Amino acid sequence: MTDPIADYLTRIRNGIKANHRVVEIPGSNIKREMTKILFEKGYILNYKFEEAGYQGTIKIALKYHPVSKVPAIRKLVRVSSPGLRSYTGVSNLPRVLNGLGVAIMSTSKGLMTDKEARKQNVGGEVICYVY
């Protein structure tokens, strides 16, 4: 697998399209941090890290509207890829849907959202957009 983060996002997208309640994803430290950010921002219902084998697995409970069954995640877009990294400075931090969405960034202070990066005055690699 050349891009495990793209695989992570694709598994979530496929789970949403198939209306699954739970998605299982091979674990890694960056995927764990991305999962925590998605949970904190209210895009997923719950998550569980299972330590089995070399890397373990992440079980993510997807979030849907209780009446209309519309998923909380409308779109997941991979910005930076292994072939074309996308870095941005503090002055050019992205705003997703004019602040309604979230950009997940990898900075020198760890993984964080674009809003947190603005508060801490750091730039970094833009991993994905979530809205």
pLDDT at 52: 84
Residue 1 pLDDT grade (very low, low, confident, very high; cuts 50, 70, 90): confident
Residue 70 belongs to some domain of the structure: no
Q: What is the pLDDT of residue 53?
A: 81
Bridge-based pairing of strands 102-107 and 110-113 is antiparallel
Q: Do 55 and 102 share a domain, yes or no?
A: no
**Rounded CA gap, 124 and 108, in Å?**
7
Residues whose CB is less than 8 angstroms from the CB of residue 87 and which lie 6 or more positions away in sequence, other chains included: 80, 123, 124, 125, 126
Whole domain around residue 18: which residue ranges?
4-62
- Look over the chain and give the mean of its residue pLDDT values, rounded to a whole number: 96
Predicted confidence at residue 59, as pLDDT, reads 97
pLDDT score at 54: 86
Verdict on whether the full-model pTM lies above 0.75: yes
Kindly state whether residues 111 and 86 are assigned to the same domain.
Answer: yes
Please say whether the beta carbons of 37 and 102 come within 8 A.
Answer: yes
Looking at residue 109, the DSSP 8-state letter turns out to be: T
- Is there a single domain that holds both residue 38 and residue 85? no
Domain assignment of residue 69, yes or no:
no
**CATH no. for residue 49?**
3.30.1370.30
Number of domains composing the chain: 2
Judgement on whether residues 80 and 57 belong to the same structural domain of the protein: no
Task: Compute the distance between CA of residue 131 and CA of residue 129 in angstroms, rounded to an integer.
Answer: 7
